Structure formats: structure tokens, C-alpha cells
A and B are shown apart, each in its own frame.
Chain A
Amino acid sequence: MADDDEIILSELSDEELVLQMHDDLYDGLKDEIEEGVNILIERGWTPYDVLTKALVAGMTIVGADFRDGILFVPEVLLAANAMKGGMAILKPLLVETGAPRMGKMVIGTVKGDIHDIGKNLVSMMMEGAGFEVLDLGINNSVEKYLEALEAEKPDILGMSALLTTTMPYMKVVIDTMKEKGMREDYIVLVGGAPLNEEFGKAIGADAYCRDAAVAVETAKQFVARKHNQMNA
């Protein structure tokens, strides 16, 4: 987007720097993002503000352009990699300084499925939105999901699958949760390229999430609803 050959990030005003970081995220420039994060922190920004105003806002633009067919998977991966660089700097600072906690999520790809690009994007954007995320990685059996639910007591279980052959396993997990009487204790969100809303409903998930941005918004809505019910 920007001709950044002659731009010296440290000479930009805060506002200009944040906009430049949005451009740099869009262009997948990890080194520049890391530099921008460090500059803002040195200028006294809270880690939470850097995260939300520079990184998450930038990735939101990337997500919208991906949804609209302007950007494609390679560009999103490069942007995500750049954001990951910024997040690595911010994470320990966020722990120190505290940040609003939206809720907790356990997430992983289902048994037999090794495709984790979408799942990783969701994890990152959920963390960016203030959720604590326990990422179980790939190829998760029902036992592994349940073990994590019982140990971590999250608000949300997220399951991801890329293959037509593996997506039915989500139903196995949800059915087992029902059998054990624990289904209603968790919000279950599912996603992955071959899934659709009908499939999500048919297997008993709370929602199908088309992309990472939708996952974040859906998670926020369900968690808010859950908290409202608990407080009612």
C-alpha cells in the first residue's frame, strides 16, 4: 500500500504511526510492525491500546478485504505473521499491566485434521479481542477436548476442520458432551472451509463462524449473553 522506503517510523506522530502500522500489517511487514509496537510502548502507550488500536484495527481491515475477495490467503498469512511478531512483544506486557478479559476459549482442529491456518487466525484474533485462548493444536480426539474443558473451564469450545471427511467428528465431540451432561456449560463455535450454517445447526453447535472476524464477534455476543443470564 504505502511507499515506505523513506518513512522513518520514529519520526511519525502517534496518529500517523498507527495508520502506517495498519498499512504495514496489510503488507505483511513483520519487522516494521515490531518496530512500531516498540515505538508506541516507548512513547507511553498502554500495551492494550497498542494491541487494539494498531494491531487489531489493522487486522480488521485485512479481514474485511479477505472477506470481500480483495486479499487472498497468502496475504492474510503474511499479515498474521506480522501481527504475531507484534503480539509476541505485547503478550508479556499485557500480563504485567492487565487488560480487559472477555472470556476464555479452548480451540483445536478435530481428529484426523492437520490444517490449522484458520484455527491459528481465530486464536490470534480472539487473543487480540481480549480472550484467553488455550490452543490444543491439531488432530484432537474427543478425549483431549473434554480433558481440556474440564481442566480449563473455558466459556467457549472452538473446533475447526478443513476436510469433508473430518468435519463430522465435531458432532462426535458435541454428542459426547451431551451424553456427559456438559453441553450446556459451554458455547460451542465451529468453523472451516467446507462447513456452513446448516451443518453447524445440524450437529448442535451454537454457531458456525465463517471467518476469524465473525468468530470474534460471535464469541463476544454469546459470552455477553451468558454473563447476562448468569446475572439475571
Chain B
Amino acid sequence: MLPDDQTLTEAGLAPHGQGRILLIACGALAHEVMALIRLNRWQHLDVQCLPAKLHLYPDKITQAVADCVADHRADYDAIHVLYADCGTGGLLQAKCQELGVDMIAGPHCYAFFEGNDRFATLAEDEFTAFYLTDFLVRQFDAFVWRPMGLDKHPQLRDMYFGHYTKLVYQAQTNDPQLDEKARQSAARLGLAYERRFTGYGELADFMQKAAN
């Protein structure tokens, strides 16, 4: 059973210690990764989620992943990294290459959920969109509203979001409550709202390859 989002944010998720292959994932992907493992009965995959709060500190991601690989390399046949570039400016990719571990392609999870090629095409006309995934909709206050200081200084909203035009909720699941929460989040940011169902996108493809 998965820990709650607060635990995934602060502490992540430790591996079970069973399985031949380890996936090192962002805590913000824990629900999706575990859902795919359940759906596909990939019992030989084990998962270590790093704290989702690293999303807010991209400069710490590369070292955290490298440390995790070092900690677990001897325990598994293979390790795969379920982080996109995530604002590391190519440093995570370079580190993964150096360590000889595979990493999912893409600039961030919004891109691989949508499909990297499609996302890149959309981005040409959609660079004024602000994206949320299921996790980020659930944790909107913890990952967007409070870290930006908007709970205390709502007057900063337009300094952050003045150039954005819409909020795109990339839905991994069909959940009317999340849809409504995402809509409310868009309203709080003063943005138009669009929901796009992406499912698990290229996350599923990458995990399928990792499982084989």
C-alpha cells in the first residue's frame, strides 16, 4: 500500500527489497508507477521513490539520484531512473550516462505523459500553458501555492503568472474530483482551464522496456 502524498513529498518511498530490477522514481510519480506495476503484474520490479519535494529544488535531484544508485547498485540486476531532466539542465542525463543507468527521455514529466514528440510540437504554440499532473493537482497548495508565497502574498500572483494564459491539467486518471480541483486551481491563478487525458503516456512504454 502506498503512503499518503505528504509522506511521498517529504520522505518518498523505500524499496521492498524484492525484485531484480530497481526503478528510482520521483515521489510525484509513485501512484502512476505502482499502478502500472499492479496492472502488468511486474513483480520483479522494485521501486524507490525519492521525496517529491525535490521537484522544488532541481539542483538537488542529480546528487540524490546518484546517491540512490550507489546505495542500491549491488542489490539489483539493473537500475532505471524515472526522472526526466526536471530542470537539471542536462546534469542528470550526464550523471546517468556516467553511472551506466537508463533514464526516461524528456524535459519533464509533463512531456513524457503527453508524449515527448507531441509535447514538443504543442509547445510551439502552447508555451504560455502551466501544467499540472494528477499528483500536482492533489498537491497544488504544497507544490505551487505555498512555495510561491501566494498564501501570504497573493499580490505576487501576476508577477509569477502574468504571462501564462491557461492551466492544462494532464489527467493520468479519470477522476471528476481532480478535474474540479484543477479547474479551481486555474481560477485561483487567474488562468483559463483545459483538461487533457494523457493516461500514463511514455511512462508506461519506458517501464515496459525496463521490465523486459
Contact = CB atoms under 8 A, between A and B. Distances in A.
Size class of the A contact interface (CB-based, 8 Å): 20 to 34
Contacts, number: 57
A199 interface: yes
A150 B5 CA distance: 53
Contacts of B91: 196
A116 B152 CA distance: 22
Contacts of B89: 164, 167, 194-196, 199
B3 interface: no
A77 interface: yes
Interface residues of B, number: 24
A164 B128 CA distance: 15
B100 interface: no
B179 interface: no
25 contacts: A72-B149, A73-B149, A74-B148, A74-B149, A74-B150, A74-B152, A74-B153, A77-B153, A81-B159, A112-B123, A112-B127, A113-B127, A114-B127, A115-B163, A116-B163, A117-B160, A138-B163, A164-B89, A164-B90, A193-B58, A193-B87, A194-B58, A194-B87, A194-B89, A195-B89
Interface of B: 58, 85, 87-91, 107-108, 120, 123-124, 127-128, 148-150, 152-153, 156, 159-160, 163-164
Interface of A: 28, 72-75, 77-78, 81, 112-117, 138-139, 163-167, 193-196, 199
